Amino acid sequence: MALTSVSTSLWGMEYSVHTLPASMAREIQHVFPDLNLADMLIVPTCQQADYDLVRTGEKIDVEKDRLLERFMAWSQCICSKLQAQGYWCDYIDPCSGLPMIQQGTNNVYPEVEGLSVLLGFKTQNAGCCKVHSSGWLVTD
């Protein structure tokens, strides 16, 4: 259940806040096995790319790095602020699907499934991967 509508941060990150849906609880418990999920909130994030990231090439690699660096900086900032107020917080490395703060598990967060469940995104096959379609138009 969404507690907020989708907003855009000053960092260019689209985000919303959701209670943990029962359909995702088992997967989340595998990622965070020692955590009580009773009051867990999930904050899915998206950012618009300047290029179609399914393509390949140097400019695509540079764009992926730019988006990853922005996500990591934003996530570190948000987690630091929440932890300073006494809250538990973690974020998922988009490259590995693993938690960045609470380490010690090799269970991957299902990011594409999470966006489908939480935001209703449709998925498409892109080779061996599933990707979501956000509706953003990217022109190269």
Helix residue ranges, H only, the chain: 22-31, 58-84, 111-119
Contact present, 76 and 55 (Cβ < 8 Å): no
Residue 132 phi, psi dihedral angles, 5° rounding: -100, 155
Q: Is the pLDDT assigned to residue 140 strictly greater than 60?
A: no
Give the model's pLDDT for residue 16: 93
Contact present, 32 and 102 (Cβ < 8 Å): yes
Of 51-60, 65-74, 102-111, 120-129, the poorest mean pLDDT is in 120-129
Q: Is the pLDDT assigned to residue 133 strictly greater than 70?
A: no
Q: Is the pLDDT assigned to residue 138 strictly greater than 50?
A: no
Q: Is the pLDDT assigned to residue 137 strictly greater than 60?
A: no
The H or E element that residue 80 is part of is: helix 58-84
